[in-house]
Amino acid sequence: MNQDTVSDGIANTNSTPVRFADVLGAADRIRSFVHRTPVLTCAAISERIGCNVFFKCENFQKSGAFKFRGAVNSVAQLSEADLASGVVTHSSGNHAGALALAARIFGAKAHIVMPSNSSEIKKSAVREYGGLITECEPTLASRMSEAARIQSETGAVLIPPFDHPHVIAGQGTAALELIEQVPELDVIVSPIGGGGLMSGTCLAARALRPSMRIVGAEPVGADDAFRSKKAGKFIPQLAPNTVADGLRTSLGQLTWPFIRDEVDEILLADDLETIAAMKFFWERTKVIIEPSCAVPLAAILRHYSEENSAGSRPEVPQNIGIIISGGNVDLQALPWGK
């Protein structure tokens, strides 16, 4: 993968408009607005996997998820005129709250189109941050058409949840910090929904540690990145079925080339494994994480305990870093049984 590269380690086949320099720019721009989140370790989890596991805790980020990084990096680059017109997005989840908070900081209105079946906790976060919610049908077409209507009526600037250079650059600052905090990482793992977090992770990891293994994690019920990578062509996610609500989305035009060219491997976990990993994490670390960000832990647990086709277990690296992407749990929606 690294033979065919330009200076920041990104493959020549990936003609991305967002580069590592943009991640560094984002880090400077957002420094005073974001938390430099801590990296936690947990002996019980490291022991279970058989190596040192480092958790970059973006569940402690403002708005409760890494999404604030991309949102504030985008809003901070708007002109006075754009800020006066406000911003608009469509999101059922963490980008909605993150954008509402970022807009409030810059004195802009945030119009948030949310599907009627969005979780109450995510809707109330948007309201709390002063976002103006417009409910729509729970389909992508309805979300997009409502956002387009608001855009044309108000002149608000569309800030999409992942497929935007400023959003990707902002998300890349999570991995940038993690690599600064734990330089000895051999493997870095991020969940993949629309692929914004993973694209930013690739930019930081390829530039700073070209030999680091970049691993994505997806739910079995929304494995479009896994299937696309295997097929070598973009395959949209048609009927996602997973408890990991942040990972139900298809990849975008900007994010697919990162998955295709930079990600070394995508691991999967089913929902039972995800819930078990989430409970294990809660129990051992006493830290709340949401299902979407338990998927990487579940996938890593599965990967290193499973025999491969040759009948042996994969070799365990020394140091794995996992981006814990968010902690906005809707307690009402969780299956509390066994």
Binding site for ligand PLP (CB under 6 A): 65, 67, 93-95, 161-162, 171, 191-198, 246-247, 249, 290, 292-293, 325-326
The residue behind tokens 């692929």 is 195
| HSE of 107, CA atoms in CB hemisphere, 13 A | 4
First to last CA, the chain: 43
From the CB of 179, what's the least distance to ligand PLP, in Å?
18
Nearer to ligand PLP, 5 or 118 (CB): 118
Nearer to ligand PLP, 132 or 198 (CB): 198
Nearer to ligand PLP, 149 or 282 (CB): 282
Nearer to ligand PLP, 111 or 164 (CB): 164
The residue behind tokens 């650059």 is 169
From the CB of 152, what's the least distance to ligand PLP, in Å?
26
Nearer to ligand PLP, 33 or 162 (CB): 162
Name the DSSP letter for residue 66.
Answer: T
**Token digits of residue 223:** 């494995």
Measured distance CA(21)–CA(138) in Å, rounded: 37
Residue 53: which residues within 8 A CB-CB, separation 6 or more?
Answer: 41, 42, 45, 46, 300, 320, 321, 322
27 three-class SS = helix
The residue behind tokens 């298809």 is 250
Smallest CA-to-CA distance from 65 within 250, 289, 260, 253 is with 289
**Helix/strand number for the chain, H first, E second:** 13, 10
Contact 123, 148 (CB under 8 A): no
From the CB of 203, what's the least distance to ligand PLP, in Å?
13
From the CB of 299, what's the least distance to ligand PLP, in Å?
13
From the CB of 252, what's the least distance to ligand PLP, in Å?
9
From the CB of 292, what's the least distance to ligand PLP, in Å?
4
Nearer to ligand PLP, 71 or 150 (CB): 71
From the CB of 59, what's the least distance to ligand PLP, in Å?
8
Nearer to ligand PLP, 136 or 198 (CB): 198
Nearer to ligand PLP, 125 or 318 (CB): 125
Contact 9, 214 (CB under 8 A): no
209 three-class SS = coil
267 three-class SS = strand
